[in-house]
Amino acid sequence: MAEYLTTIGLEVHAQLRTASKMFCGCPAETHGAAAAGPNTLTCPICLGMPGTLPTVNAQAIELGLRTALALHCTISPFSKFDRKNYHYPDLMKGYQISQYDLPLATDGWLDVPLAGGSQRVGIIRVHLEEDTARLLHRTEAEGPVSLIDVNRAGVPLMEIVSAPDITSPDEAVAYLVELRRILQYIGASTGNMEEGSFRCDANVSVRPLGQQAYGTRTEIKNMNSFRAVRRALEYEVPRQIAVIEGGGRVVQETRGWSDERAVTVSQRSKEEAHDYRYFPEPDLPPLTFTPVQIEAVRDALPELPTARRERMVAAYGLSRDDADLLTDARPVADYYEAAVAAAQASGPAQPERARSLANFVIHDLLKQVPDPAQISTLPLGPANLAELVALVEEGVITISQARALVPELAQSGDHPRQVVAARGLAQIRDTGALEQAVAEAIAANPKAVADYLGGKTSAAKSLIGPVMRATGGKANSQLVQAILQTHLDALARQRAGDDAPGAPAL
Ligand code: ZN
Ligand code: MN
């Protein structure tokens, strides 16, 4: 069998985080409690009534520009909206307002982090458009019915088209993960796939190694999770190879991914652009941007995930894995850096402290929230976490005591220092109290002492337990060992005379 090259290009539709829809004043948030029911978030414009006039949502344009710049695209100084005509019940007007030959931005790139480095994937274009209504197909007693919910019609969408630079299902998923992360970092989209706020279609083709021309491609739709994208591509690539190996030809068509059956299924032959009879939208003015406007948007961009990851490794001495975990969601990175800032406000900057905070965030704090992005909602804020770590650093409590306190502090939001004081959790560092507990342990365990002095050094360890028990586990263990050693040294000298060497070390 010949070797094959896989070529994948991805088209992402992301819902923009705006208050209102793309061309009318209806709310754009149509999930959950926002809508009282189907068809409640509508108006004559998004219902497609004749004679209504759309107006462009300025926030959607701002978010589109932000995305385009984060993806290193060139913003078109002049772009326009077009009508994409097709007849389907999810389109109220009989056309979708989109952008065709003059999109908002073109020619960018995205560096996709991969295990062995990174892969640059070109971005062909970023354009703005409106979402369609949602259709619900059901089977009722009298037969199949299709219901229509117009709430989603007119919600602002951004379409991001990658170049065919992706060569495997792994790379495709890594691209989507990084793209979604960027959109979330810059506040352009929630990226929520289950709610359909981040949807992806994949163009896939294969060709024998050595062949220059791309093979015939299929377009895969209906993948509702990263896992579905991976599975669909892992199915489609060998399917196309098998068609070619069997002497057949891949048909250019749209195929739907069936998650239950784990196959892609032919849906319809691919339409060409001329099928849509694109023409300029006469009711909307073109979009024009000056270099000053574009630079203002660029200046307001937050630090992007890759840059932040690298800066955090350098600034805090974090491992790459830890930096990956901390920068995966921006709220986690924000929380962590706020905790570092709070810790440094109360003492000199120390790499151990920054790493200790990282460990608490990764291993303890993230366990307290179902979704990492919710870390900012925890009553245990960054300043309180810094205080908890300071208590460990000062030797007031042990690290395991601190970790045990996290679930409770996470919910109560109480100050760690107050909780430790109120509960009497502080370790006993008062040497007087420890001297007495050690003396009592020695007096109560003559056998262990005799064994130890007879050369069985491990016997001394059995004296530590009674001291810890006598102090309710709150004794500082290093201090106990040091005091015990002093006492045993003294006993050894008594027994052997003053010129004898000390007892063996514990
Ligand atoms: Zn409306
Ligand atoms: Mn589109």
Ligand sitting nearest the alpha carbon of 47: 1
CA 299 to centroid of ligand 2, rounded, Å: 28
Distance 11 CA to ligand 1 centre (A): 26
Identify which ligand lies nearest to the alpha carbon of 158: 2
Distance, in Å, from the CA atom of 406 to the CA atom of 400, rounded to the nearest integer, reads 10
Share of the chain above pLDDT 70, in %: 95
User: 395: helix, coil or strand?
Assistant: coil
Distance 13 CA to ligand 2 centre (A): 7
Q: What's the CA-to-centroid distance between 159 and ligand 2, angstroms?
A: 6
**Mean pLDDT within 259-272:** 84
Distance from Cα 128 to the centre of ligand 2, integer Å? 8
User: Are the C-beta atoms of residues 111 and 175 closer than 8 Å to each other?
Assistant: no
d(CA 331, CA 333): 6
* Distance from Cα 78 to the centre of ligand 1, integer Å: 27
Residues measured by CB to lie within 5 Å of ligand 2, the ion: 159
Give per-residue pLDDT as tens, 446-504: 888 888 888 888 888 888 888 888 877 777 777 888 888 888 888 888 887 655 555 56
Q: What is the pTM of this model?
A: 0.83
Distance 121 CA to ligand 2 centre (A): 20
Residue range 390-407: mean pLDDT, rounded: 89
> Which ligand lies nearest to the CA atom of residue 128 in the structure?
2
What pLDDT score does 502 carry?
A: 53
The stretch 432-444 carries a mean pLDDT of 86
Q: What residue ranges in 16-142 does DSSP mark as E strands?
A: 74-75, 78-79, 82-85, 95-98, 105-114, 117-130, 134-140
Confidence of residue 1 (pLDDT cuts 50, 70, 90): low
- For residues 481 and 478, give the distance between their C-alpha atoms in angstroms, rounded to a whole number: 5
Residue 272 has pLDDT above 80, yes or no: no
Question: How many angstroms separate the alpha carbon of residue 332 from the centre of ligand 2?
Answer: 32
Instruction: Using the mean position of ligand 2's atoms as its centre, give its distance from the Cα of residue 233 in Å.
Output: 21
Q: Which CATH number is 431-496 given? A: 1.10.10.410
Q: What string of DSSP letters covers 348-394? A: ---HHHHHHHHHHIIIIIGGGSSSGGGGGG-SS-HHHHHHHHHHHHT
Arithmetic mean of pLDDT, 165-186: 97
Cα of 480 from ligand 2 centre, angstroms:
70
Q: Whose atoms come closest to the Cα of 200: which ligand?
A: 2
Taking the CA of 20 as reference, the closest ligand is: 1
For the chain, report the end-to-end CA distance as a whole number of angstroms: 69
91 CA distance to ligand 2 middle (Å):
13
The residue type of 208 is: P
Task: Name the burial class of residue 81, with classes exposed (0-12), middle (13-18) and buried (19+) by CB atoms within 10 angstroms of its CB.
Answer: buried
pLDDT digits (tens, 9 = 90+) for 145-158: 999 999 999 999 99
Distance 54 CA to ligand 1 centre (A): 9
Tell me how crowded residue 293 is: count the other CB atoms within 10 A of its CB.
Answer: 14
pLDDT tier at 274, thresholds 50, 70, 90: confident
pLDDT of 486? 86
Annotate 182-213 with b (16+ C-beta within 10 A) or e (fewer).
bbbbbebbbbebeebbbbbbbbbbbbeeeeee
Domain segments of the chain: what residues? 4-296, 303-423, 431-496
Distance 100 CA to ligand 2 centre (A): 10
**Residue pair 223/263 in contact by the 8 Å Cβ criterion:** no
Cross-strand pairs, 13: 159, 199
Reported confidence tier of residue 337, pLDDT bands at 50, 70, 90:
very high
Q: What is the predicted pLDDT for the residue at 273?
A: 65
Cα separation, 438 vs 442, in Å, equals: 6
Average pLDDT, the chain: 91
